[in-house]
Chains A and B, each alone.
Chain A
Amino acid sequence: MKNYLFELKEGLLISLRAIRANKIRSVLTTLGIVIGVTSVVLMSTAIKGIDNVFQKGVSSLGSDNLYIDKWEWFNNDIPWWELRNRRNLTLEDYRRYSESAKLPIAAAPTVWSIQKIKHKNTTLEAIFITGTTNDYIRTTNLTFDEGRFFNEIESRGGRNVVVLGNTVAKNLFPHRHALSEDIKIKGQKFKVVGVLSEQGSWVMGSFNPDNQVFIPIQNVFKYLQSQSFRSITINVRAPNTQMIEPVKEEAIGIMRRVRGLKYSEANDFSINQQEGLLNNINQTIGVIQIAGLFITSLALFVGAIGIMNIMFVSVKERTKEIGIRKAIGAKKRTILSQFITEAVIICLLGGLVGFLLALILSMIVNQFLPTSVQVDAVILAVIISLITGVVSGFAPAYTASKLDPVEALRYE
């Protein structure tokens, strides 16, 4: 064992000397591994980033929430025309549900509309307006930069008050506070009572609270669209994750009663929860992962072939050297480990450079996709380089170790 470590150390020194003697070639050869490792690390980092963003986006929805809706969000089991033919959910349905429901912390009706909004000369097109009640804030994890959510009096009275998402506020009031200012939605004046703090989950797109404004639901019906235009959604928050199932059961019971369904009739509403979304996301990420791994392993494969190729050339070129070494007592095993060590070192150096490159590139990626290189990516890079080195170095090293010393010495 001690002897083997000793040989390994000598093999290391010999390899370093050989690599230094062929600098340009070593650099070019290593490039394949550099690119391979860079892409593997970068890919795994990017996937991690995508995953982060999705998870964060999902959790900003609130992890203990249920959404009673006309539509089935994530499940394609029910044909869409059947969904379309369902009766809309109304404010009256919500009122009766919230009267009977005992388990939820809070329940709020929501309805959406897309509108232009204005402040003085600034106009924002196609802003997602959520109409809801004061109960809404208790179904979310939203926090405020300034002000507050509209209260019960404002909500019931249908006052012209508005809460702005962070991005909307920034765009509409680039240089000053939005609080207590007036904005116009479809010609109607609304007074800003609150600005949300940044949620930063851009993956949710226009559903992201940052890009929304919130007004009392009555006002949506009064100024923007009639009640029958679109079904409302009832946001329900369970006290904790364990309570989601009971809350769901209760909701199904109450809603069937509210909707006057007979025993034989199927539910004409859906209870959505973000678990469905999570499943979707995890599936998508799984696909990205497999595709990414496949592509990057191709890059590595090409790199490995490059190393193998150059190692074969190197063995051929150094036939005489191998002969000399054997003549003065190098064993087969010694020669084998010498050349494998050389390939491994080339790969490890390549892996190191590739990893540093990935580190730099990931900082750039970070601008678009919040992420960072993970410890497992470091381990991944080392293991990959090591394996690539051994695999691509073995065949050439074996050839070298089998050379006949007399023949090798005669080689010019």
Chain B
Amino acid sequence: MNIITIEHVAKVYEVGAEEVHALRDVSLKIDKNEYVAIMGPSGSGKSTLMNILGCLDTPTRGLYNFKGHNVSEMNDNELAKIRNKEIGFVFQTFNLLPRSDALHNVELPLIYAGVPASERKERAILALENVGLADRMHHKPNELSGGQRQRVAVARALVTRPSIILADEPTGNLDTKTGEDIMSLFNDIYQQGNTIILVTHEEYIAEHAERIIRIRDGLIERDENVIKRVIPKKKEEVA
């Protein structure tokens, strides 16, 4: 079953008199329980695509169908609802509320979903347990390490049980070791039956996915399934 279908999507930014074609003509389908990595050089349009897929932004042209709903025609309120209920974001810079503790950060999407306080708390604590941070739930972001912060962000993305997880360079601000921890967390999430789209620059990160989409200049260059090696750690061989 397709969760996401986009057809001939383009995004044009107007900077002064100039037009920047961030996406030119992109079509793709994402199935339930897929694990997709999006790769490409800087400025190729990866984040732009993610923002459109995540309903943070709307395409200039083209069709976007999310679980049978035409997103291109939705108003701000409907988009907010989709973001809240169907999509879990994980950002490169974590994007946690700095003044709120981990628990409240994870609770926040449930607040906007109108979940009653007691149930909310229970679910938030459970989500933090799943990422191994139950003992840190009353810590503020600046009292947590980068990896821990990203795990809080992952917990926040998962807490609403969304249809899809979107992660834009989730390991970009982390060292290799911590990045690997986060990636194995994503693996677990994937194994539990979630759908993940992940943007990355690193081949060895992308190899965790089952499918890699390569973008260049706002166009899909290649879209292929990963042939899993027996020893996926040897990244030089792939590159």
Contact = CB atoms under 8 A, between A and B. Distances in A.
A357 interface: no
Interface in A382-411: 405-406, 409
Given A3-B114, A406-B51, A327 B89 contact: yes
Given A328-B108, A330-B80, 12 more contacts: A17-B100, A325-B97, A327-B54, A329-B83, A329-B84, A329-B85, A329-B112, A331-B80, A331-B81, A331-B112, A406-B57, A409-B95
A326 B80 contact: yes
Contacts, number: 63
Contacts of B28: none
B64 to A, nearest CB: 15
Interface residues of B, number: 27
B99 A324 contact: no
B20 interface: no
A5 to B, nearest CB: 11
Interface of A: 3, 6-7, 10, 17-18, 21, 320-321, 323-334, 405-406, 409
B77 A332 contact: yes
B74 interface: no
B77 A325 contact: no
B158 to A, nearest CB: 12
B226 interface: no
What 3 A-B pairs come out closest when comparing CB atoms?
A329-B84, A329-B112, A331-B80
Contacts of B95: 320, 323-324, 327, 409
A328 B51 contact: no
A2 to B, nearest CB: 9
B76 A327 contact: no
21 contacts: A17-B100, A320-B95, A324-B97, A325-B97, A325-B108, A326-B83, A328-B84, A328-B108, A328-B112, A329-B83, A329-B113, A330-B84, A331-B76, A331-B77, A331-B80, A331-B81, A331-B112, A332-B77, A332-B80, A405-B56, A405-B57
Given A329-B83, A332-B77, A21 B99 contact: yes
A6 B96 CA distance: 23
Interface of B: 51, 54, 56-57, 76-77, 80-81, 83-85, 89, 91, 95-100, 108-109, 111-114, 156, 160
B82 to A, nearest CB: 8
Nearest to A330: B112
Contacts of A334: 112
A324 B109 CA distance: 10
B185 to A, nearest CB: 19
A399 to B, nearest CB: 15
Contacts of A21: 99
A3 B95 CA distance: 26
A329 to B, nearest CB: 2
A406 B52 CA distance: 10
Contacts of B114: 3, 6-7
A333 B97 CA distance: 20
Given A3-B114, A406-B57, A329 B80 contact: yes
Most chain A CB within a 10 A radius of its CB, from B77, B95, B97, B111: B111
A270 B121 CA distance: 83
A409 B56 CA distance: 10
A406 B56 CA distance: 6
A332 B108 contact: no
Contacts of A333: 77
B111 A10 contact: yes
A356 B126 CA distance: 45
A21 B140 CA distance: 13
Contacts of B113: 329
B76 A332 contact: yes
A409 B111 CA distance: 20
Contacts of A18: 99
Nearest to A402: B76
Contacts of A406: 51, 56-57
